[in-house]
Structure 1
């Protein structure tokens, strides 16, 4: 028998009208009551409006997108715009609409997901990143709600996800620099909580080990964000070393942009490669070599997996690896 709003009310010890107000995020309901009611809905696996939709033999035809960026950053980061373009193209062809939100923290993302599910506004959710001990993924799994991740999650065997082979991509970048004659290669990455950081760092390490080059921990800088400011500070630290690096691999173009600023100020230009092939990379002096990770295809494949699962189509695989390629520009071609 289907779970009803009255079942949730009984479980939470409140009235059905209070449950309804929690579902619609009424500001008059206390945080304590919201927690109790949300816990009851999770325990009972109650999805508001699910019964009504099944009776009507229809769905919302809407996908929710959870963007891990503030409103200020969202439209300055080409990766998210391009991934959303890929999602939009496929979703529109399948007659699906999109609803998106952006956030300042992982906790805020979970709250948005809870509201999406409880309101019955969306049929499934796209996450744009994978973290260590990911709270969004854990919450969606507890609620047994359809979702896909752009990024390789931990324990992802039963999760739909799409990503690049980030280990291999950074392995290729590091090998490229080694083949140009560099042995002391600095690495600048973003926060360690993100799978992309850990995987690209592993690719860097594997490339050095395979060529019997010592890994020097002081040449590896893990920043607290993927911002230009982080890249700038990390590069200043690398340049201040008694034995500084000969070349730089940056795990994101914005880290590379900041690193190039620090190099300009120091008067020392080192070969450097970024990731994401941002449009701005072409207009710098020198122009920045960068790895094209094909974000349009990442987005398209992600939403394709999700929509096919919503349509109960047989999926021959639960994850997709999208290829990358190095775009060589002046920051490495002249060495």
Structure 2
């Protein structure tokens, strides 16, 4: 099979297309012919060596994949050849709190990921693709969509009438917008570009703040709530935005920490968290049970992922460069099959 590998060190220039033997499924394993894979910022960090500098190489990157079951091993009962499926990010997290096994059995590092023609997975590590979605759309669900679902539903308990602040217009952020709207929440969204804000308005963002022209976006968000503060912040910026997220949220509110786009290290203002009785929740994607609930809700409401651009398999490096540029609106996808 053809597969991209991070082979001789980290960096986009080290991401090379090569050949590996076609995998053979063992007991309770399925072989998936990959048709599409989407990119997450985690994947870019992995390729560049910023996510886990000690990751063993070679590694096939990419945490998200969708495709068709091509072959099954002995004992497999949950899927059959010809079934359309998506690969779950954690191959060992059925439900409940995350475990060490759940953290160590994730696709795109430390396990090989989806930027290849085939994947070998446990039958519990795949989920039927919602019939109304294309494979390119379905490939965006396992990480970005489930992360947003975990933040707002599984962990966040967002309810109708709540105010949710969403940062940016990447994959997680736009899924958070869609899910918050589905729940009946009011959404405030930030971006540095007015054209992206207009597109977010069309998706249902109630209020929008350009943080390039309004650097005190935390104050602007509070002003939009009568200075009460928002109920929940979907924090994807990291160290560069965290303090403002704490200032934007109401006393007793929640900040879901998801991304590190502006850096992962910084001073933590503990006094503000303590005195405002804030809940700061780290979100590690999510479990299979959460994915099942999300898939039911998405199917019922026909939620369609926002796909920015679909690249050919031969354009994988270009796809990563596009993600790194920050020009995307929604998910960047690579068509494999």
Q: Same fold (TM over 0.5)?
A: no
TM-score by length of 1: 0.35
Q: Which is greater in Rg?
A: 1
TM-score by length of 2: 0.35
Question: Which has the larger helix fraction?
Answer: 1
Question: Which has the larger strand fraction?
Answer: 2
